[in-house]
Structure 1
Amino acid sequence: MPVSLSAIGAFARTHDPDRFLCALFAPEARREAVFALIALNHELARAREAASNPLAALIRLQWWRDAVEEARSGRPARRHEVAGPLHDAVTDGALDPDALLGLIDAREAETEEGGLATEQDFVTWLRGTAGGWSAVAGRLLGAAPEACEVLRALGAAYGLAGVLRSIPVHAAQGRCLLPADRLAAAGLTAEDAIAAPDSPPVAALVREMAAEGLTALADARRDVPAEAIAAALPAVLARRDLARLARGQATGERGLGDRLAVSWAGLRHRV
């Protein structure tokens, strides 16, 4: 860890400790840009949580689109703790504006009334959000396009684990991000999952989806370049989380075992 952590690094550590730990395995010259990408992802993820309605969430997302476009055009950075470092990363050429806009666009699915209708919608959303973060991070770290698509799949698995872990949290917010068709196949609706997120039918669906995700993760290619290992490391946590969820175990807070697993994978450059 750096002796003196920057403001954006401290923001990343506070709001996304998982990806922050992974970012420590990025080359030092690129680490600040990875921190800025982590911070942007946090701001995008909370756009719907912090908004009182879908329109307000869309306005928040548009604010970030404008910030990216202003950085692209060389206009001054916005006075914001995340927008400033993000602006620097774009103007320095570390982050591609189009890739960032793709991350923003992917978040619009969370603002739609009725949630995600189909499992395909759900997979597309995972690949665009958590998967998109890993792909953009990989590109930032020098991975080739083919490797970035491998990273996208690995990141999507981390996103799935995050959704399944967060069902009670989302329920408390009056939200459900599980696809409607999978809920219906289990005899559930989004309203059921929100009302009773710990009920046996919801728990059974979580176990089922976690097992499927674990299988997909085991089948995924994991040959990513060593310099981009920081973008792949969330998959280490995904594997551990999905295994617990598939067994019906609570994931809870991160423990020493999780941190050691990430560190060992990072040192070996293998996930």
Structure 2
Amino acid sequence: MAAPLSPIVALVRAADPDRFLATLFAPAAQREALFALTGFNHELARAREAASNPMAALIRLQWWRDAVEEARDGRPPRRHEVAEPLHAAIRAGLLDAADLLAMADAREAETAEEGIPSAGAFTAYLRGTAGGWSVAAGRALGVRGEALALLQRLGAAYGLGGVLRGVGRLAARGRCLLPADALAGAGLSMEAVIADPRAAAPLMRAMAEEGAARLAEARAEARRMLPRSAIAAALPAVLAAGDLRRAGDPLVVPGPRGLAARASVIMAGLRGRV
């Protein structure tokens, strides 16, 4: 019989199957740290979802900042299914505390009642959240220098696909993450998208087309400069390509990944290139 999954691996498999699959292609020595990183990212992502108001979400984010700083400073770990393995990965030098704190900071954009104000702030949000995961994962896998910035771009493209896939779901909860200046340029507002997500479809398609072009450029660079040993940090970008192609219908509720999507990640992982 197969050995049971550790608690952090079981959590990640259920909560973030995309990054779970990507992490299977990491070297065994770094794999548990990447699972802890993904668990941490999941907790940050659900801070606003699980909170009744923005202030409660900020308190949740601060709790995770404190957990990271305590690990960095050598204090005992907090008793939590994610905080404990995260603490161990930080103490082992596999995860960088500064990377993790930056990921928490970037999530504050989700707590602003007025939304994300500009395209520049939206790009920073994507690069700090999904892109931040890719940077932290890449650093754990030995990536340095310009290749980390490349991973951040790949991760941001995956994050863009996720935002666009979630427009209808967030609207049903009274929220919108599309940048306010882009909405205004399309004759829209946050309130208009929340009332009728279909109104955002043309803007979503335009954002997806621009994101897909940038993703194609980043993937071409990755094939030249990203080491095979770091492929796990880049694999979510394989899914981003499909997400951006299908963006544009905010009423479609994203379901589990199909066999073709999972197979594309597996093939890219086996080839060692995105």
- Alignment identity in percent? 62
Distance in 1 separating the partners of 2:248 and 2:123: 18
Aligned-CA RMSD value: 1.6
Q: Which amino acid aligns with 2:34?
A: V
Alignment-derived partner of residue 210 in structure 2: 212
Shift of 1:129: 0.7
Contact persistence 1:61–1:104 (CA under 8 A): yes
Alignment-derived partner of residue 226 in structure 2: 224
Contact persistence 1:49–1:173 (CA under 8 A): no
Alignment-derived partner of residue 233 in structure 1: 235
Alignment-derived partner of residue 76 in structure 1: 76
TM-score (norm 2): 0.94
1:106-147 alpha-carbon deviations (Å, 9 max, x no partner): 111111220101101100110111111101100001111211
**Pair 1:249–1:63, CA change in 2 (3 A):** closer
Runs of 4+ displaced beyond 6 Å: none
- Out of 244, 259, 264, the position equivalent to 2:267 is 264
Q: Which amino acid aligns with 2:265?
A: V
Distance in 1 separating the partners of 2:182 and 2:249: 19
Match runs of 1:163-182 below 5 Å:
163-182=163-182
1:84-106 alpha-carbon deviations (Å, 9 max, x no partner): 11011111111111111111111
Contact persistence 1:12–1:39 (CA under 8 A): yes
Distance in 1 separating the partners of 2:187 and 2:76: 52
Shift of 1:160: 0.2
Match runs of 1:59-70 below 5 Å:
59-70=59-70
Q: Which runs of 5+ in 2 are unaligned?
A: none
Q: Say yes or no: does 1:186 pair with 2:186.
A: yes
Contact persistence 1:19–1:38 (CA under 8 A): yes
Match runs of 1:102-181 below 5 Å:
102-181=102-181
Q: Which amino acid aligns with 1:263?
A: I
Contact persistence 1:207–1:248 (CA under 8 A): no
**Pair 1:141–1:49, CA change in 2 (3 A):** same
Q: Which amino acid aligns with 2:240?
A: A
Distance in 2 separating the partners of 1:182 and 1:131: 21
Distance in 1 separating the partners of 2:110 and 2:13: 24
Distance in 1 separating the partners of 2:208 and 2:240: 10
Distance in 1 separating the partners of 2:249 and 2:206: 10
Deviates more, 1:259-268 or 1:94-103: 94-103
Alignment-derived partner of residue 14 in structure 1: 14
Distance in 2 separating the partners of 1:73 and 1:132: 22
Contact persistence 2:166–2:250 (CA under 8 A): no
1:208-266 alpha-carbon deviations (Å, 9 max, x no partner): 11111101111222131111100000000001111122699955431000000000000
Contact persistence 2:74–2:91 (CA under 8 A): yes
Shift of 1:3: 4.7
Distance in 2 separating the partners of 1:269 and 1:46: 31
1:61-95 alpha-carbon deviations (Å, 9 max, x no partner): 11001101111111111111110110111111111
Distance in 2 separating the partners of 1:178 and 1:163: 8
Q: Which amino acid aligns with 1:91?
A: R
Q: Which amino acid aligns with 2:206?
A: E
Q: Say yes or no: does 1:242 pair with 2:241.
A: no
Distance in 1 separating the partners of 2:213 and 2:63: 38
Secondary structure of the 2:247 match is helix
Contact persistence 1:211–1:246 (CA under 8 A): no
